[in-house]
Amino acid sequence: MVKVDLRNLPVQLIKRFQTFSASQKAAVLLGCVGLLAAIFYLNGLLTQFNFGPLFTGLNEEDAGAIVQKLEGMKVPYQLSNGGSTISVPKSEVYKIRANLAASGALPGSGAGFELFDKTKLGITDFEQQVNYQRALQEELRRTIAQVDGVQNARVHLVIPQKSVFVEEQQKPSASIALKLKPLGRLSPEQVQGIVSLVCGAVEGIRPEYVHVIDMAGNVLSDEIAGGGTSHAVVIKGQQDLQRAYERELERRVSGVLTKIFGPDKAVAVVSADFDFSRQETVTTIAYGEPAVLSEHTITEQNSSGGATGVPGTGSNLVPTYPSGTTAGQGSSKQEVTRNYQVGQREEKVIQVPGRLRRLATSVVVDTNLTQANIERIQNVVAGAIGYDSERGDQIQVASIAFEKSHQKKMEAEMAAIEAKAAKEARKQQMWTIARQGAVGLIAVILMFIFIRWLANLKPAAPSIQEVIPMRVGAQPPPVVDERYLHVKETAEKKPDEVADVLRVWLTEEK
């Protein structure tokens, strides 16, 4: 058996390879290629058992269609979570998903206006209308599914046939069912956008004939029906403002209480009462001394004279006795009108919506408190929330032991989930290490077998030798024993070991 020196293995292999014939060299090259192919095939064979999720949260119909496609593609798969999750080899997840998308087998997908790419001859008007309705439903579904917070959607349209009588023409309607993402929620603006999208895509449909619901059965389009969109948006904005203010105060109070009692030892709840009414008050205020703005004077005088005595005929005759006369009398009248003007200013006060009317704060502490400590906490909370006694604010502090059985149960469940995840991670890691170790071990074994085979391969003797004419008297080259060459090479490389062997031989001969 030929000994293999691993330290000089590359040099030995090259020298050995140079001694081979053409057929032996071809066999060696084919053996190398086969060895590499076997290693790669073994690695792929072991890697394909590392599955990754292809789709999750599937219904039975979509899962069945995808499984049928995977079986037709001869792709190994696994079902989990009651058949709602399909896993395939992790290295081919994106490739398989792209192939399914190209074949139209993605979950929830359908044919849109692609239905009209291949028009059949002899199709009736009814079939044409039905295909148009199906295509429009799918196109709307695709668009609505792209809205932020929406995971999937179903659209149902009712498009009545046109009538020759206007009074008998029925109104089209639409029903939309939305599957929201986990913890997802649509704002009224988003719902209004979906309704507007449908109204713009379907001829003759009005917003009040578009109904939007979620998978929990909540009617999302009620708050925008009947033209009440702006009012609903205003109310929603007011509620959001109030809740944001309450959360900010709760965060402040909780931060202070956490510093005092520690985490999860106190709970604070703030209730704010806002006045969202709009009021406008106009006040006129006078100032300064009155001043004469205008003055108007009217003066009247009257003077007159006449006979005296008893009125009548006798008074006009010549008297028979002496008569006396009196001086003439007159009258005067004066009327003065003055207009005064004072300085004045007008104040206009507008009370904008959102005025804080009252605050009510409740604090519950999971420890025993004395009355003095309760008062201290009330003072601390009052400073944190901006307490105003004139506004009627209230602060209540209570000392009540918390019920922690539910919390302990949740912590135990979370610990179990984390332990399970860690176990799965360790299992996956061990499987990866074992897979890589198996591939490496098999590769080493195959390499060792190949090297042994290569080392034991005998060089081929030349089949045809060139005849060289020899001169008279020339001697053929001496034949060198291979054992001699091997001993000589060993003595040159390992002189100490050869000396020890000779010394042992000499000792045995004595």
**299-358 pLDDT, tens digit each:** 877 765 555 555 555 445 455 555 444 445 667 788 888 887 777 788 888 877 888 889
Out of 3.40.50.970, 3.30.300.20, 3.40.50.150, 3.40.50.300, the CATH code matching 251-277+354-399 is 3.30.300.20
pLDDT surpasses 90 at 249: yes
| pLDDT over 70, % of the chain | 75
Quick one: tokens of 300? Answer: 């009247």
Average pLDDT of the segment spanning 240-258: 91
With b meaning 16 or more CB within 10 Å and e meaning fewer, what string describes 285-313?
eeeeeeeeeeeeeeeeeeeeeeeeeeeee
- Spatial separation of the C-alpha atoms in residues 12 and 126, rounded to whole Å: 84
More confident residue, 482 or 70: 70
Is residue 407 predicted with pLDDT exceeding 50?
Answer: yes
Class for domain 51-102, per CATH?
A: alpha beta
Average pLDDT over the chain reads 76
Residue 398 has pLDDT above 80, yes or no: yes
Residue 158 contacts residue 211 (beta carbons within 8 Å) = no
Res 466: pLDDT: 45
- Distance, CA of 464 to CA of 475 (rounded, Å): 21
Residue range 107-123: mean pLDDT, rounded: 64
Q: How far apart are CA 3 and CA 8, in angstroms?
A: 12
Domains 51-102 and 113-227 share a fold: no
Query: Could you tell me how many residues make up the chain?
Result: 510
| pLDDT for residue 252 | 92
Domain 113-227 is of which CATH architecture?
2-Layer Sandwich (3.30)
pLDDT value at 442 more than 80: no
Q: Give me the residue spans of the domains in the chain.
A: 1-47+421-460, 51-102, 113-227, 251-277+354-399, 479-510
pLDDT at residue 469 is higher than 60: no
Ranges 218-222, 330-334, 382-386: which has the least confidence: 330-334
Spatial contact of 257 and 265, defined as CB atoms under 8 Å apart: yes
Question: Quick one: what percent of the chain has pLDDT higher than 90?
Answer: 11
| Higher-pLDDT residue of 132, 484 | 132
Task: Name the CA radius of gyration of the chain, rounded.
Answer: 54
Predicted structure pTM score? 0.40
Q: Name, in order, each residue with C-beta under 8 angstroms of 274's C-beta and a sequence gap of 6 or more.
A: 238, 241, 242, 245, 354, 355, 356, 357
Q: What's the pLDDT at 465?
A: 47
Residues 376-410 as b or e (16 or more Cβ within 10 Å = b): ebbebbbebbebeeeeebebebeeeeeeeeeeeee
